[in-house]
Chains A and B, each alone.
Chain A
């Protein structure tokens, strides 16, 4: 019994990492007023490039940083289009998601010469800090928790956080107070995409140790749902991420468990994370309020 509890706990904590990182990043971005639905593509591309960085340097941590860097670049692209060119907030994200489908499917074949899937060698994967017979815990879990807490603190307890929230809540007033709305929005967008990139690289060089063209599997959108669920609050996103991570891990676990498969087809269990997301989102709408200027381009009069 205790084994099952420990292994479930570790599994959920691990599966939580990309979700929480992306949710926390998206929270900062949307608190500053920039919607980005391209996290799905950012996770996928960062997982791909993160694995390449790790394999070239032989160091998984450089893989993680490389993934975050790729996320930053994609965030800069999104920020440039939405903040500086005042473009639509949704379409660039759709573009990045489509681009990722192509880049990663093409890249796996072009770079590794294998079709559809690449296994990351064990020696360039992040070593766990806690080993139990029922599973091991990655240091990234602790880093993720630290990032969520730190981001929460900055967002709600510092002048910087106040300014970030001001440009997303009332950009006109923030502008009148001399805050550079565009710069804060741009940097918040880049920060959000960077965290998603870190989460993506975690999937390839740590957790799953593989790169596939379906690796992100909707997590970028589950993370957005989690952000809404959390009411744009990083600490609650941490809790929500744990719940979503639990179901994510459950569906992965059942797929490898023949006894349960005899009772319920694995395909049905695989739909669980998405079904739970839908139910939770349908249940909490109306109880939370997005930042007032969320997704609205700011043009100076």
Chain B
């Protein structure tokens, strides 16, 4: 297998530049809000990278967002803006809890995540194929519906009789083993990486993947080449659904201490949105997504130390994420920077 180094360099540099700009703009906002940027970033990077514990937290935080990023990435490679990862995560987590409580093993949990993910993502797929509904609008509407429906299920259908603040927990027999004792890092992380590698294999080394990418690149050309774009759309949504469904499942099966969904779904909320940023920074490429997922996982892991040690609200890292994505959206970023520097 030949790897095209030159083709990788430019997007890589662009992503790195966007990250640097995100961190710089974040520093300005921190200073403007009366915090010390240096203190905040030192606490953040130290917390995420300065110890074995921090590194483990970085990887465990990367686990769900690599998976939700694959949802967006697969969509983007097929010419779709699939924003529906967020809602799919909820149902993946719920189904994993239900199935593992019926049959207490890891495979049933993963199966539950996959099943729920495919079922929920089938809705925007059908709306798109049959009615031509724009997937951005449909997936956002479905995210909000998912939020309220999941909230209902969490509160009313699978509450924990011993602890009103969370749902039933995944039984011990269906939990991922912890890799490093005393941390939140479990073998669920391996599921994320494997899912990214499988996605890469499917997209670039199978007939189906070829069809998905061609119809994403140019629908008319795809049709001319005998590829049915509707089939590509359906597969793109279903594969994407599997990834976000798995994100929800692995989160409740592999993240101590609760192994359940907390009140108001606070512990599974927001992964879908974060995944979009991860995917864009990873250039919607499964292998890029692994690395950018670890980077965003680092931000998430370091955010807590930043809050404790520098007193900065942990949402600050989401500001940095937002700036990074806006920067990524600027075309010809490098040429633009060169022009500015030359002046």
**B237 CB, nearest partner CB in chain A, Å:** 15
User: Does A86 sit at the interface, judged by CB under 8 A?
Assistant: yes
Interface-lining segment among B57-65, B143-151, B239-247, B254-262: B143-151
* Cβ contact within 8 Å between A106 and B140: no
The number of residues on chain A lying at the interface, defined by a beta carbon within 8 Å of a beta carbon of chain B, is: 48
Complex Cα gap A222–B336 (Å) = 35
Q: Which of A87, A110, A283, A285 contacts B329 (CB 8 A)?
A: A87
Bound-state CA distance A101–B35 (Å) is 20
Say whether B322 contacts A278, CB under 8 Å: no
User: What 1/0 flags go to B129-153 for Cβ under 8 Å of A?
Assistant: 0011110111011111100110110
Instruction: Please report which residues of chain B, range 144-180, place their CB below 8 angstroms from some CB of chain A when the two chains form the complex.
Output: 144-145, 148-149, 151-152, 156
Contact A285 B322 (CB under 8 A): no
Known interface pairs A221-B137, A278-B142, A281-B138. Does A99 touch B149 (Cβ–Cβ under 8 Å)? no
B331 at the interface (CB under 8 A from A): yes
Partner of B132, one of A90, A271, A278, A285: A285
Kindly state the interface size class of chain B when it binds its partner.
35 or more
Contact A221–B330 (Cβ < 8 Å): no
Contact A95 B326 (CB under 8 A): yes
Contacts of B329 in A (CB 8 A): 81, 87-88, 91-92, 94-95
Of A91, A217, A267, A282, the contact of B280 (CB 8 Å cutoff): A91
- Convert A76-120 into 0s and 1s, putting 1 for each residue whose CB lies closer than 8 angstroms to a CB of B: 010001000111101110111111111101100111000000000
B331 touches A87 (CB 8 A): yes
Question: Within 8 Å of chain A (Cβ to Cβ): is B325?
Answer: yes
B316 interface contact, C-beta 8 A: yes
- A28 smallest CB distance to B (angstroms): 19
Q: Are B277 and A98 in contact, CB atoms less than 8 angstroms apart?
A: yes
Number of A-B contacts (CB under 8 A): 142
Residues of A within 8 A of B33 (CB): 106, 110-111
A274's partner among B132, B144, B276, B328 (CB-CB below 8 A) is: B144
Flag if B145 contacts A271 (CB, 8 Å). Answer: yes
Point out the residue from B140, B277, B317, B323 that lies within 8 Å of A221, measured CB to CB: B140
Q: Once the chains are docked, how many angstroms separate the CA of A111 from the CA of B34?
A: 10
Tell me if A277 is interfacial: C-beta within 8 Å of chain B.
yes
Query: Taking CB as reference atom, which chain A residue is nearest B131?
Result: A282
> Residues 214-254 of chain A: 1 if any B CB is under 8 Å from the residue's CB, otherwise 0?
00011001101100100000000000000000000000000
Q: Are A85's CB and B318's CB within 8 A?
A: no
Q: Considering the chains assembled together, what is the distance between the CA atoms of A281 and B315 in angstroms? A: 34
Q: Which of A221, A270, A277 contacts B136 (CB 8 A)?
A: A221
Interface centre among B156, B325, B329 (most CB of A within 10 A): B329
B127 with A278: CB separation less than 8 A: yes
Q: Are A99 and B325 in contact (CB under 8 A)?
A: yes
Of B273, B326, B332, most buried by chain A (CB within 10 Å of CB) is: B326
Residues of A within 8 A of B232 (CB): none
For the complex, what is the distance from the CA of A222 to the CA of B329, rounded to whole Å?
Answer: 24
Verify if B321 is at the interface (C-beta below 8 Å from A).
yes
User: Is the C-beta of A56 less than 8 angstroms from some C-beta in chain B?
Assistant: no
Bound Cα distance A293, B49 (Å)? 48
- Residue among A94, A96, A286 with max Cβ neighbours from chain B (10 Å): A94
For B318, list chain A residues within 8 Å (CB).
98, 101-102, 105-106
Are A98 and B136 in contact (CB-based, < 8 A)?
no
- Write out the residue numbers on chain A whose beta carbons fall within 8 Å of the beta carbon of B336: 85
B141 and A268 contacting across the interface, CB-CB below 8 Å = no
| Distance (whole angstroms) from the CB of A48 to the closest CB of chain B | 12
Cβ of B322: which chain A residues have Cβ within 8 Å of it? 95-96, 98-103
Q: Is the CB–CB distance between B131 and A285 below 8 Å? A: yes
Which residues in B have some Cβ–Cβ distance to A below 8 Å?
Answer: 29, 33-35, 81, 83, 127, 131-134, 136-138, 140-145, 148-149, 151-152, 156, 270, 273, 276-277, 280, 313, 315-323, 325-332, 336
- Ranked 5 nearest A-B pairs via Cβ: A99-B322, A102-B318, A95-B326, A105-B315, A102-B319
19 chain-A/chain-B pairs, Cβ below 8 angstroms: A81-B331, A85-B331, A85-B332, A86-B331, A88-B329, A92-B329, A99-B322, A102-B318, A103-B319, A106-B316, A109-B313, A217-B144, A221-B140, A265-B152, A267-B151, A268-B148, A277-B137, A285-B131, A286-B132
**Given A91-B325, A92-B330, A278-B141, 18 new contacts (CB under 8 A):** A37-B136, A77-B326, A85-B330, A92-B326, A95-B325, A99-B319, A101-B322, A106-B319, A109-B313, A218-B143, A221-B140, A222-B141, A267-B152, A271-B148, A278-B138, A281-B133, A281-B134, A282-B131
